[in-house]
């Protein structure tokens, strides 16, 4: 109508929910902010969404945005509907988390710990030392950033806010177990050096 070159239009196929119905504003809608609040990385979401109706080939499912931009061609777009699989999205998110350095991961976890009231931002020296030591220990087990909160909060909460789950205590702290617990407490309280080797020797 304006006398220019008519562009070529294309679109990816429909995206379906786990129930097989197409996703829409009224069905299966989830805000991208919800994924952010649950601890999904932007690079992981982009990676997963690009797989809905498109393939890089060679069964490759893990790649960066720049690799995607370089490899994208319309001939690899499928005409068939794609199904949004949250488990697959979460698995890719976990793969991306494992590519982060410990420092980067700790920085990304801090807002989730702060939102849960476990630490204050900016993080002060003592919590920072705990995080630096503890984050590498949970790194391989995380599929989302929010999953780090219950793994780390007991190390960072003030003593008066630390609460033992009554059901867990009832299952573990039985009358038969208490002599062992008491002996462990006595041995550990006598330690002058709080190190792995000294703790192992005492126990």
Looking at the annotation, which residues are catalytic? 25
Distance CA 196, CA 13 (A): 55
8 Å CB contact between 173 and 181: yes
Alpha helix segments (H runs only) across the chain:
32-38, 42-50, 65-71, 86-97, 102-115, 125-138, 148-156, 166-172, 178-189, 196-202
8 Å CB contact between 53 and 78: yes
Q: Among residues 138, 141, 172, 169, which one has the least CA distance to residue 153? A: 138
8 Å CB contact between 81 and 15: yes
Query: Most distant CA pair in the chain: distance in Å?
Result: 89
8 Å CB contact between 115 and 146: no
| Residue whose token pair is 């807002």 | 111
Q: How many residues are listed for the chain in this entry?
A: 203
């Amino acid at each position: 109508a304006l006398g220019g070159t008519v562009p070529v239009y294309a679109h990816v196929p429909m995206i379906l929910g786990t129930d097989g119905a197409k996703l829409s504003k009224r069905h299966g809608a989830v805000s991208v902010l919800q994924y952010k609040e649950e601890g999904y990385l932007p690079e992981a979401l982009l990676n997963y969404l690009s797989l809905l109706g498109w393939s890089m080939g060679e069964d490759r499912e893990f790649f960066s945005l720049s690799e995607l931009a370089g490899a994208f061609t319309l001939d690899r777009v499928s005409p068939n509907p794609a199904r949004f699989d949250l488990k697959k999205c979460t698995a890719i998110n976990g793969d991306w988390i494992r590519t982060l350095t410990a420092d980067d991961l700790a920085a990304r976890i801090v807002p989730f710990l702060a939102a849960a009231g476990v630490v204050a931002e900016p993080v002060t020296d003592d919590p920072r030392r705990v995080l630096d030591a503890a984050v590498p220990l949970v790194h391989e087990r995380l599929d989302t950033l929010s999953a780090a909160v219950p793994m780390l909060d007991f190390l960072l909460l003030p003593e008066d806010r630390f609460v033992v789950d009554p059901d867990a205590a009832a299952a573990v702290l039985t009358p038969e177990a208490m002599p062992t617990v008491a002996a462990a407490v006595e041995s550990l309280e006598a330690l002058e050096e709080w190190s792995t080797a000294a703790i192992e020797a005492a126990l």
